[in-house]
Amino acid sequence: MAISIASKEVIGSISNRSNFGKDSRAERTNMPPLFESKTMSNAPLIIRGGNPVSGILPVNPSKNAALPIIAASLLIGEPIVLNGVPRLSDMECILEIVKSLGANFEWISQHSLRIHTPEITSIEAPYSLVSKMRASFNVLGPLLARAGEARISMPGGCSFGVRPVDQHVKALRAMGATVVENNGDFIAVRDRPLTGRFVFDLLTVGGTQNAISAATLGTGIVRLENASIDPDVIDLCNFLNTMGAKIHGIGTHTLEIEGVEKLHGGEYNIIPDRLEAATFMLVAAASRGILTLTNANLAHLRSVSAKLIEAGVGILEMDNTTVRIDASSNKFNPLHLSVAEFPGFPTDVQPMMSAFLATVPGTSRITDRIYPTRFGYSAELNRLGAKTEVLDSSILIEGTRLHGAPVKAADIRAGAALVVAAAAIEGETRIQGVEFLNRGYENLEQRLMSIGVDTTRDGLRLANAS
């Protein structure tokens, strides 16, 4: 978009201060290796499926909840401890971003992280990191709140459709910030505490999160309407309130944020990963197995559970955190479903659901109007013998018997869909594009092995995970 003379003055002001605080930058903790080399390997994943899975599997911590919470840690000048941080390449990326902005961090146990940002030492997130992951845009709000200005490039990440940031920008402008775009960089400045009211044009998780973080510090009051009620938004609000924020209306579509002078340190437990849980539910269904998941938040999984029950899969909620999936009957029904914002069926689960339905006799249909072009994985499923056809914002799936073949993941959940399909196939499936799976699934091959899925990398059989 065109930049006004006033906007150019803003850009010049920020450019002159892009290295502010550099000389006083606190010594940072070097990050230990997050993974053993075998786990981090991008070598193809080889799955020999066809056997029903079985066993008990704890659900890992939520990646999509942890990422914005780590970004929001920039708001806090005292040390915090986060429990439930998954060891993923996306975590490595967001930690390197906050480190470049002034954070110190150290792993204190397998999934617990200590972060301390005594001061913001840069207002510009490195493009080399931002370009890797869309969630990196979540540092915009925290930087604007604490430093008064921020500069960040258009984010990267998985390529499955247009995901604009216009709602982020509109919200910040409505709250009193000046936001301009210059050659792909978004530059935001505030010269007073943010205040005001904004109604989102649509439900947006990231836009809601950025607006919340931006409004947390200061003396103003911000009211957000048509805000997302996604579990990752709720978890961010609960984290910030634990550290002293004043956010009201959590879990509703209307949020009121009273700015506070500062946040304090503390400890917080991040929610379990509903998308990982849903993936393994569908692995169990596709393989006609019986699997028990523990450490799950079942309220976050109700839409997935409901559709699996409709398809004929047995779902037993044993308590608030434990669910048993029984697909041993092998008598299933095709489904017609549409994805929707939470509490509806998640767009992030539709690729895996398609893979399961590819094994179910009859014609199924999934419609995704959130990301209507998110069906690129269909060509790879078809390489495995699936019969799918993409029509506008829907995919038609004719259930059939699948067979092994070399395939390639194009994004995180497309890769997960191939894993679900491979679990159902008696032959060998060779999955490339494992770097995407490394972004979203911790120790995936060991966890598949632990429930009976024959999994190897580089021709070497992995030991069963305990």
The catalytic site residues sit at 158
> Could you please report the per-residue DSSP string of 405-418?
-EEE-SSHHHHHHH
| C-alpha to C-alpha distance for 419 and 409, rounded to whole angstroms | 10
For residues 134 and 157, is the Cβ–Cβ distance under 8 A?
yes
For residues 89 and 438, is the Cβ–Cβ distance under 8 A?
yes
DSSP 75: G
Q: Is 6 exposed, middle or buried (0-12, 13-18, 19+ CB in 10 A)?
A: exposed
Beta strand 454-457 with 221-225: parallel, antiparallel or unpaired?
A: unpaired
Distant-in-sequence, close-in-space partners of 300: CB < 8 Å, separation ≥ 6: 231, 271, 272, 274, 277
Instruction: Note the helical H segments in 268-328.
Output: 274-287, 302-311
For residues 65 and 270, is the Cβ–Cβ distance under 8 A?
yes
Inter-helix orientation angle 63-72/205-215, to 10°: 30
DSSP 339: B
End-to-end CA distance of the chain: 55
E strand or H helix at 351: helix 350-357
DSSP 35: S
- For tokens 């604009």, name the residue: 164
Residue of 163, 96, 174, 170 lying closest to 136 (CA atoms): 96
Counting DSSP H helices and E strands in the chain, the numbers are 16, 24
| C-alpha to C-alpha distance for 339 and 371, rounded to whole angstroms | 9
Q: What are phi and psi of 431, to 5 degrees?
A: -105, 120
| C-alpha to C-alpha distance for 94 and 365, rounded to whole angstroms | 36
